[in-house]
Structure 1
């Protein structure tokens, strides 16, 4: 059932003195895009008559097939609280359709919708709870980020040690004005690192919320003179930033599919199969969940980031890819710990759910649980250690291709091959420091 009607949208625009409406979407890398319209053009947009040039968006279409339609999702209408209160700015997320009025298969939102529709046909409905971490850096006179800091704060510290406390508070207040249910926030383990957690929601909606969250964090930080970055490893020698993805599954009666009180871990067969599917496909999925050269600087031993392709119900094992949090019954959650917030959330969530569903369909049992004390004794597969390794796992993988579709699959691969080639030809400061004086 829809949250808003067409009449509701017109009434809110008038009553709230909205001057601009942003029709938002993203490219295949998750980069936000939008077209801004005034209220005079709102009827045309809601009638699905507004077009844009898709060839101008990276990873979309060729010039000869460039005209595309934006279909606003009225239930995503929100007003940006940080914009002027006279002549306000609102936004709606949009689905993208081709000129022949068919869903565009290169639209990341559509990729996720297809996976969720497949799950619904099997009486499975997914909620996601993300945990996003980010750094707050100071800025120089030109507004560029300055990673160096005098802050020494760590886990759960407060002001004055936590120098970003007021920024974090302002971010939360703005998010709550946009109907986020904020659960908690705190300073993270590294200096200048922060985390804000919000409640689980329907998987498709949570991907929209992640996009909104990142925009809000960056925008509010700039108002305070800070630069917020979701770069996975912006500083050497400290923990990086991730985006853990907690996955909950329910049937149409609201029962948690991952729960079984008779199991010694409280997990159902479906939960074990879902874990098995994630572990089976995670190497090829990693290019999407961890899409940057820098992503793999975070996934190294010693920094509370996952390295091993293993799972655990123990909160002590921080090197495992998958963890089962303590709570059970309706809150039983499978937590995937390798993704970072530079990913496209629509594609990453789609692939993770599809991998789990494949595990359920094929009854893929995971390997034995790895406890912290056992990890060093076991021969365990590891996640890709570089973007190049992730590309090799992604290449010619039929599972990934079936979920993303040929269009997204090929264009994403082409872009990442270019990125890896450019990085391999780059001479880093580490190489200059290590080798120049020796050879």
Structure 2
């Protein structure tokens, strides 16, 4: 049992009396239940029964009888609440449940291991902090901008408190800073093996929201909470390793394997957006004029491309995939990205659409000549791309049908709302429908 010793906010050791059993729904939102600490061994060895019929993205009444089995390697104690948390897997009829996102990623990792690969991922999730005021009028608690330290950044102490709590849940904070938008922030934490990083993203969002609540603030990871302000992204730094060696390292740049991996992601980019940018609101962020990528391209140190190769030294070779946002279910996002990259390696796909200059400043003719295409403009278009892409569909495994069905209903509900409000389908304004659906979740 990997128990993490923590302390309460008063500094006194506190043994948790209850344990939260955590899995995520189709949206990546944590779900679960609490059990008395005395049932923990039972949760690990036999599992705890629960009714999954009302979980978003599960299969309704057919999933009334599911079992949660705890993964003891993920046990952690929450210092501000006096409880413990543990992630795990969902089972049905004695077998792994096909729509369990964590189980989907586990299968992907097993496929990578058969090829001799281990994937490491480092995320950069961004978020906004708003004052609570009981309305949708979003009050900003600070007027800070990118990397502001003191003068305008009034919530820097909240960032520090979040970072101090993170190690209790297994996260190692590395850099804290104010982002471009007023009241927008980023706390980067150390990369890890893919499954652990997916867990860490869920834990990080939980920690940010909880600490913000303690200070009377709303934290939101909504991709675009404010029209005219920068959106919240979640850039992913990805590398593959083999026998303790980073196989993305090449002579003077990326290795051939890494380039083929990039080629695979570019090939499947349109379908991937349905999973890495899975909400209506995601596509209010993916617009020209901000740092979010729109064009399917890649380059070294080029922040206008979909995939950027950061400067690196020694064993630090990696790619930065720039379109994902924090509304993505990290387990499903990682599974599809890794399988797209693996497809590129197996087929030896060469990455096209290379760009050294600002892609946004190119005219349409130049982009076409270089072979640069555009990401889907909305969730409906992304879902159509997903349906046509066998590799990404198969990467979702048993969750594919559930995911598409759930997301199609989401898109249809939004289109109906636009029609009722007499708004165009391509509106870039953030609607009240989006705020009600995504702001808190």
Q: What's the CA shift for 1:146?
A: 4.1
Instruction: Give the match for residue 91 of structure 1.
Output: 85
Q: Closer, same or farther in 2 for the Cα pair 1:215/1:103, shift >3 Å?
A: same
Distance, in Å, in 2 between the alignment partners of 1:205 and 1:43 is 21
Secondary structure of 2:146's aligned partner: coil
- Match 2:327 to one of 311, 326, 342: 342
Q: 5 Å matches for 1:110-129? A: 110-129=103-122
> C-alpha deviations, 1:390-435, integer Å up to 9, x for none?
1111124322221112x41111111111111111122487949x9x
Q: 5 Å matches for 1:139-178? A: 139-140=132-133, 142=134, 146-149=137-140, 151-178=142-169
> C-alpha deviations, 1:127-184, integer Å up to 9, x for none?
10000100001111x4x56423373311110234012211111111111233321110
Secondary structure of 1:364's aligned partner: coil
Q: What's the CA shift for 1:286?
A: 0.6
Secondary structure of 1:82's aligned partner: coil
Distance, in Å, in 2 between the alignment partners of 1:173 and 1:146 is 31
Whether the aligned pair in 2 keeps the contact of 1:260 and 1:329 (CA below 8 Å) is no
> C-alpha deviations, 1:249-269, integer Å up to 9, x for none?
1101x11111112xx4x1111
Distance, in Å, in 1 between the alignment partners of 2:100 and 2:261 is 26
Distance, in Å, in 2 between the alignment partners of 1:329 and 1:357 is 24
Distance, in Å, in 2 between the alignment partners of 1:64 and 1:173 is 43
Instruction: Give the match for residue 45 of structure 1.
Output: 43
Secondary structure of 1:36's aligned partner: strand
Distance, in Å, in 2 between the alignment partners of 1:373 and 1:211 is 33
1:280 lines up with 2:267 in the alignment:
yes
Whether the aligned pair in 2 keeps the contact of 1:256 and 1:329 (CA below 8 Å) is no
Whether the aligned pair in 2 keeps the contact of 1:233 and 1:294 (CA below 8 Å) is yes
Secondary structure of 2:249's aligned partner: coil
Instruction: Give the match for residue 422 of structure 1.
Output: 413
- Match 2:209 to one of 218, 221, 239: 218
Q: Closer, same or farther in 2 for the Cα pair 1:240/1:430, shift >3 Å?
A: farther
Distance, in Å, in 2 between the alignment partners of 1:362 and 1:222 is 48
Q: Closer, same or farther in 2 for the Cα pair 1:21/1:182, shift >3 Å?
A: same
Distance, in Å, in 1 between the alignment partners of 2:136 and 2:37 is 36
Q: 5 Å matches for 1:186-197? A: 186-197=177-188
- Match 1:74 to one of 72, 82, 94: 72
Distance, in Å, in 1 between the alignment partners of 2:407 and 2:358 is 37
Distance, in Å, in 1 between the alignment partners of 2:300 and 2:160 is 33
Distance, in Å, in 2 between the alignment partners of 1:133 and 1:202 is 21
Instruction: Give the match for residue 370 of structure 1.
Output: 355
Q: 5 Å matches for 1:297-312? A: 297-312=284-299
Whether the aligned pair in 2 keeps the contact of 1:131 and 1:197 (CA below 8 Å) is yes
Q: 5 Å matches for 1:54-73? A: 54-73=52-71
Distance, in Å, in 2 between the alignment partners of 1:148 and 1:43 is 46
Instruction: Give the match for residue 354 of structure 1.
Output: 339
TM-score between both structures, scaled by the size of structure 2: 0.89
Say what the alpha-carbon RMSD is for the aligned residues: 2.1
Q: What's the CA shift for 1:9?
A: 9.1
Whether the aligned pair in 2 keeps the contact of 1:18 and 1:89 (CA below 8 Å) is yes
Distance, in Å, in 2 between the alignment partners of 1:61 and 1:23 is 20
Equivalenced residue count is 411
Q: Which moved more, 1:33-42 or 1:294-303?
A: 33-42
Distance, in Å, in 1 between the alignment partners of 2:381 and 2:177 is 34
Q: Closer, same or farther in 2 for the Cα pair 1:429/1:170, shift >3 Å?
A: farther
Q: Closer, same or farther in 2 for the Cα pair 1:328/1:55, shift >3 Å?
A: same
Whether the aligned pair in 2 keeps the contact of 1:139 and 1:145 (CA below 8 Å) is no
Q: Closer, same or farther in 2 for the Cα pair 1:145/1:313, shift >3 Å?
A: same
Whether the aligned pair in 1 keeps the contact of 2:343 and 2:391 (CA below 8 Å) is no
Q: What's the CA shift for 1:34?
A: 1.2
